[in-house]
């Protein structure tokens, strides 16, 4: 405690001699990872419900529209599977990558990160909570797109349960990428641009059957994380799915997810203290 009584202090600015209390005061509790992650997740999901439902419709209609267009070009077989799988994962890309990049870009530019930065919450909870909420938000759109696609192209519905793995893993990869882009972009417009570009890439490289692409584009396709989600999903439409390959593709998604979410968490930490 201070040794200088209040009355003895000069009225003006104090000099350096009067130090603060000798013994540091007890700190408030730290918010633990899982409870705060759950709190952020819940808040973000409710946010998305309020503000983003129209955009989910847009994402779904866009994917269904693409499938209807492609029906004139593609006639069953492997190409049809790629189109349905690609369109379904496109919904994930739209929300998790594009919208999350925009959200974090705007939050950073408007100073909204200050709110989280002045709370004792682990950075991972903020990033994972938001990414998780955006990924969950894609579930209805993705399922609707997949079911409509199966109906349009006469594909079996038997293995649609694989979406239970595809959505979270592709969601983690794309949401991590979106969050990292949004938090690293120096300006919010740039974050929006990158998010849109990422989504366009997912559309062009994911939906179109790869057999007809030039070599360079196929390489770009292999570098895009959503591709592995698309491939895994597409394989399950086969009469006898190659489950080892499905698992391999999903593992790639998961790995990219871990890395990109780690990058996003670091980016958040950097963006929060300027």
Partner 1 sequence: MTRERGDGGDPVGSSLVSTRAAQAHRHGGDVVCAVRGLTKTYPAVRGRRGVPATPEVRATDDVALDVRRGEIFGLLGPNGAGKSTVVRQMTGLMRPDSGSVEILGHDIVRHPERASRILAYLGQESSALDDLTVSLAAETTGRLRGLDARQARAERDDVLDELGLAALASRPLRKLSGGQRRLACFAAALVGQRPLLVLDEPTTGMDPVARRAVWSAVDRRRAEHGTTVLLVTHNVIEAETVLDRVAVLDRGRVIACDTPNGLKEQVAGEVRVELVWREAAPLHVPEVAALRDRAAESGRRWTLRLAPEEARTVVATVTGGAAFAALDDFTLATPSLEDVYLALGGAVRQGLVKA
- Considering only 23, 214, 216, 240, the residue that binds partner 1 (CB under 8 A) is 23
Residues 177, 131: contact at Cβ < 8 Å?
no
Terminal CA-CA length for the chain: 32
Q: Does 13 help bind partner 1 (rule: CB under 8 A)?
A: yes
Q: Does 218 help bind partner 1 (rule: CB under 8 A)?
A: no
Query: Least distance (Å) from partner 1 to the CB of residue 193?
Result: 16
Q: How many CB atoms lie within 10 A of CB 72?
A: 7
Phi-psi region of 77 (alpha: psi -120 to 50; beta: other; left: phi over 0): left
Among positions 43-82, residues that touch partner 1 (CB under 8 A) are 43, 46-47, 50-51
CA 80 – CA 143 distance, rounded (Å): 17
Residues with Cβ within 8 Å of 56's Cβ and at least 6 positions away in sequence, in order, are 95, 137, 138, 140, 141
Q: Does 140 help bind partner 1 (rule: CB under 8 A)?
A: no
- Considering only 9, 68, 219, 258, the residue that binds partner 1 (CB under 8 A) is 9
Query: Least distance (Å) from partner 1 to the CB of residue 13?
Result: 5
Residues with Cβ within 8 Å of 30's Cβ and at least 6 positions away in sequence, in order, are 120
CA distances from 88 to 121, 147, 163, 230 (A): 34, 9, 9, 8
The stretch near partner 1 (CB under 8 A) out of 116-124, 133-141, 149-157, 218-226 is 116-124
Task: Using alpha carbons, select from 117, 95, 110, 114 the residue that is nearest to residue 44.
Answer: 95
Query: Least distance (Å) from partner 1 to the CB of residue 162?
Result: 32
36 versus 227: smaller Cβ distance to partner 1: 36
Q: Does 36 help bind partner 1 (rule: CB under 8 A)?
A: yes
Query: Least distance (Å) from partner 1 to the CB of residue 43?
Result: 4
CA 200 – CA 68 distance, rounded (Å): 18
24 versus 154: smaller Cβ distance to partner 1: 24
Q: Does 22 help bind partner 1 (rule: CB under 8 A)?
A: yes
- Considering only 6, 54, 214, 244, the residue that binds partner 1 (CB under 8 A) is 6
- Considering only 55, 58, 117, 143, the residue that binds partner 1 (CB under 8 A) is 117
Distance of CA 141 to the CA centre of its chain: 15
The site for partner 1, by CB under 8 A, has a size of 54
Binding residues vs partner 1 (CB under 8 A): 1-2, 4-7, 9, 11-14, 16, 18-25, 27-32, 35-36, 39-40, 42-43, 46-47, 50-51, 106-107, 110-121, 125, 272-274
């Amino acid at each position: 405690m201070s040794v200088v009584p209040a009355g003895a202090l000069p009225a003006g600015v104090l000099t350096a001699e009067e130090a603060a209390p000798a013994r540091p005061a007890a700190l408030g509790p730290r918010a633990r990872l899982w409870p705060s992650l759950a709190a952020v997740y819940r808040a973000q999901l409710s946010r998305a419900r309020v503000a983003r439902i129209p955009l989910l419709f847009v994402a779904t209609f866009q994917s269904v529209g693409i499938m209807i267009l492609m029906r004139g070009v593609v006639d069953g077989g492997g190409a049809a599977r790629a189109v349905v799988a690609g369109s379904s994962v496109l919904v994930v890309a739209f929300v998790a990558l594009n919208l999350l990049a925009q959200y974090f870009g705007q939050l950073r530019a408007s100073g909204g990160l200050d709110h989280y930065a002045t709370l004792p919450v682990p950075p991972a909870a903020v990033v994972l909570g938001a990414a998780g909420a955006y990924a969950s938000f894609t579930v209805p759109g993705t399922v609707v797109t997949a079911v409509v696609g199966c109906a349009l192209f006469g594909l079996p519905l038997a293995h649609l349960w694989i979406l239970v793995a595809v959505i979270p893993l592709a969601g983690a990869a794309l949401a991590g990428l979106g969050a990292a882009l949004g938090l690293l972009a120096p300006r919010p417009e740039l974050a929006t641009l990158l998010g849109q570009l990422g989504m366009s890439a997912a559309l062009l490289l994911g939906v179109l059957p790869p057999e007809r692409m030039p070599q360079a584009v196929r390489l770009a396709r292999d570098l895009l994380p959503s591709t592995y989600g698309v491939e895994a999903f597409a394989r399950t439409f086969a009469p006898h799915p190659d489950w080892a390959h499905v698992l391999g593709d999903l593992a790639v998604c998961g790995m990219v997810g871990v890395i990109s979410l780690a990058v996003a968490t670091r980016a958040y930490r950097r963006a929060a203290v300027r």
